[in-house]
Amino acid sequence: MIRHFFKITLGVVALMSVFVSCDDSEDAIKGLMVDKEEITVGAEGATEKLFVESGEKWVATTTEPWLMLSPANGEGVCECSVVIDSSLVNDLRTATIRFCCMSGATKNVTVRQTGYGKMIRFEEPEIEIEASAKTDERYFETEVTTNVPFEVKIEYDENDENDEEWLTPGKINVELDRGARPRTTKLRFDWKMNTLPEPRVAKIYLQPTGGNEIETPAVLTLTQKAAIKIEDNREGDSLALLTIFERLNSMADPWDTSENMRNWNNVTLWEANDSGLPAPEAVGRVRSASFLMFRTEESIPQEVRYLKYAESLDFSSNTNTMLLSIELGPEICELDYLKELTLFSYGLITLPEEFVKLGNSLEYLDISANNFNDIPQMLTPEDFPKLKKLRMVASRRWTTSDLRKADQYEDGLGLHINTLSNNSLRRLFLWENLEELSLSNCYIEGEVPDFKVGEEGVVAYTQADVDAFGGDTIQYLADNNCPKILPNMKHLAINLNFFTGNLPDWLLYHPYLLMWYPDLLVFNQQESGRNTDGELVRFDNVPSSFDYYYSVFPGTREKYEFKEEITE
């Protein structure tokens, strides 16, 4: 079939001779000629040309709305455009263009359009991402073209030593509102940092749902670059510090890497003559480091485990902690020489099981201003025999003075326990070696636990305790068989909680009571606070003065009683 057998630029006589030679039908004799009998296009649609010649006026109609002819009428020689819309179906569809002259002569042109096959396709079948980045930059997007619904399946490299699911797909947001016509959308995937010095690979499959099948599988191969290798030496310590700083999104001024590490702010190194030097090879390695003011939604970066000889670490002041629910990872638990650990206002809700490994060395723990709903059960004198100071101050996720509203907070208020049903505080008060316990500004309600000699392993003060304390200063305790609770406690703070009831005698007659500034840090509870039962929080037996105390501990009057200076 001749597709182009005349041009508009040719004369009418020449055109007529061509048409006559190519079509001897009755319609041709009557003067209606069209250069095509069939048009076939793909599913994406197209615009085709038709040349029409007639000695009289003609009009054209189409049998389907998905194609349009322009112009749809004419006389003489005309070039017509056939505009075919993209298909909405998976199968072949057909339509007819019918040309009619006033004399009755007709011509039909058949238009066929193939349908879309069912398909899902990644625009990029392979992507490489970095090993690490700032928290809000740890994601990638990829374009997907599809005409069927699908779900995401991820397969991880079986040789990945991390053994973790490090990709999280975002919500699939594609509207298949045009039938089989494919739509292009973007898929987002959040990723975790690679902590190993080898690259890792994941396969992302888009699998059709709803009983659909596709001929070519949709697969994206994602490769994540290897983490920087950190070695067990001084250079490894500096690299670990810099990596932690970066991954925490620290808002502090960055360290000047051209400077010696011993000149970095908030970093100290072991010196050869330091007391407690863990090993000769620790000289020049990090002894302590502080990371202040940062922004993260994740645990302490795993590079902390490379600070092998760290004795003191401080991670303080994360942003928007009331919105966070971070589970501390196990990496920091690998530090055998860690004595002091501060995790202040980080957004933590749990400590890992491995945390007990620190019990062999830890002496000071500050986990204040986090979102713990209870005192971690693992904190026991058996597992942490060297711990002397424990701080959980301001463990409030949200602020309220009325615990009747506690159920309104889905994730909890923070450290909210009732001593009538929860023995966490009681357990801490039986910790004989503690020298500081700070639980100010939490949501602890109920009564301060009381104890009896002979129960729960509680013993009474003895004459040996009196002698060790300094003679007869606390003779009252031994003479009255008083329970020996927190005998080494130099600083107790339970103020701004929701306690009610009586202060127990073991507390009112504690040998270090006046060192605690009790008016401020013990007796003083939440102002206008109400507990879960709606009771106004307060102790019922707060002493009006300390005369009772001086009368039984006469040696303390000279040391603690305020003496007003009289001046003339």
* ∠ Cα 561 562 566 (to 5°): 135
pLDDT at 568 over 80: no
Q: Kindly indicate the confidence band of residue 179, based on its pLDDT and cuts at 50, 70 and 90.
A: confident
Three-state DSSP state, 59:
strand
Instruction: Look up the pTM and report it.
Output: 0.73
Question: Which pLDDT does position 288 carry in this prediction?
Answer: 98
Least confident of 41-45, 263-267, 346-350, 393-397: 41-45
Q: By CB neighbour count within 10 A (0-12 exposed, 13-18 middle, 19+ buried), where does 528 fall? A: exposed
Question: Which pLDDT does position 507 carry in this prediction?
Answer: 98
Q: Kindly indicate the confidence band of residue 412, based on its pLDDT and cuts at 50, 70 and 90.
A: very high
Amino acid at site 516? W
Q: Kindly indicate the confidence band of residue 132, based on its pLDDT and cuts at 50, 70 and 90.
A: confident
Three-state DSSP state, 220:
strand
pLDDT at 258 over 70: yes
Residue 556 Cα to chain centre, angstroms: 53
pLDDT at 86 over 50: yes
Cα–Cα distance between 511 and 35 in angstroms, integer?
112
Percentage of the residues of the chain whose pLDDT score is greater than 70: 92
Q: What residues are paired with 416 via a beta bridge?
A: 443
**Is residue 32 within a helix (H) or strand (E), and if so which, with residue range?**
strand 32-34
If one compares 555 and 346, the residue with the highest pLDDT of the two is 346
Question: Which pLDDT does position 31 carry in this prediction?
Answer: 75
Closest CA to 294 of 326, 263, 318, 327: 318
If one compares 253 and 317, the residue with the highest pLDDT of the two is 317
String of b and e for 113-148 (b: at least 16 CB within 10 Å)? bbbbebbbbbeeeebebebbeebeebebebebebbb
If one compares 162 and 511, the residue with the highest pLDDT of the two is 511
Q: Tell me the per-residue pLDDT of 47-79, one tens digit each, with 9 for 90 and over.
A: 999 999 998 999 999 999 999 999 999 998 999
pLDDT at 98 over 70: yes
Q: Tell me the per-residue pLDDT of 271-310, one tens digit each, with 9 for 90 and over.
A: 999 999 999 999 999 999 999 999 999 999 999 999 999 9
Mean model confidence pLDDT for the chain: 90
Question: Which pLDDT does position 163 carry in this prediction?
Answer: 61
pLDDT at 208 over 70: yes
Cα end-to-end distance, the chain, whole Å: 128
pLDDT at 397 over 60: yes
Sign of the Cα torsion 535, 540, 544, 546 reads: negative
For residues 76 and 16, is the Cβ–Cβ distance under 8 A?
no
Closest CA to 393 of 520, 288, 543, 497: 497
Closest CA to 370 of 312, 313, 422, 325: 325
Q: What residues are paired with 365 via a beta bridge?
A: 341, 390
Cα–Cα distance between 393 and 370 in angstroms, integer?
9
Closest CA to 326 of 303, 296, 357, 290: 296
pLDDT at 563 over 80: no
For residues 391 and 519, is the Cβ–Cβ distance under 8 A?
no
Structure tokens at 139: 């994601």
56 phi/psi in degrees, rounded to 5? -140, 175
pLDDT at 18 over 60: no
429 phi/psi in degrees, rounded to 5? -70, -15
Cα–Cα distance between 107 and 27 in angstroms, integer?
8
Question: Which pLDDT does position 159 carry in this prediction?
Answer: 65
The domains found in the chain, sorted by start residue, are: 12-113 (2.60.40.10), 120-224 (2.60.40.10), 262-454+490-547 (3.80.10)
Q: Kindly indicate the confidence band of residue 142, based on its pLDDT and cuts at 50, 70 and 90.
A: very high
Question: Which pLDDT does position 143 carry in this prediction?
Answer: 94
Cα–Cα distance between 18 and 22 in angstroms, integer?
6
Q: Tell me the per-residue pLDDT of 441-480, one tens digit each, with 9 for 90 and over.
A: 999 999 999 999 999 999 999 999 999 987 778 999 999 9
Q: Kindly indicate the confidence band of residue 161, based on its pLDDT and cuts at 50, 70 and 90.
A: low
Question: Which pLDDT does position 96 carry in this prediction?
Answer: 95
Closest CA to 134 of 247, 240, 254, 241: 247
pLDDT at 5 over 80: no
Q: By CB neighbour count within 10 A (0-12 exposed, 13-18 middle, 19+ buried), where does 30 fall? A: middle
Percentage of the residues of the chain whose pLDDT score is greater than 90: 74
Closest CA to 138 of 262, 19, 8, 301: 301
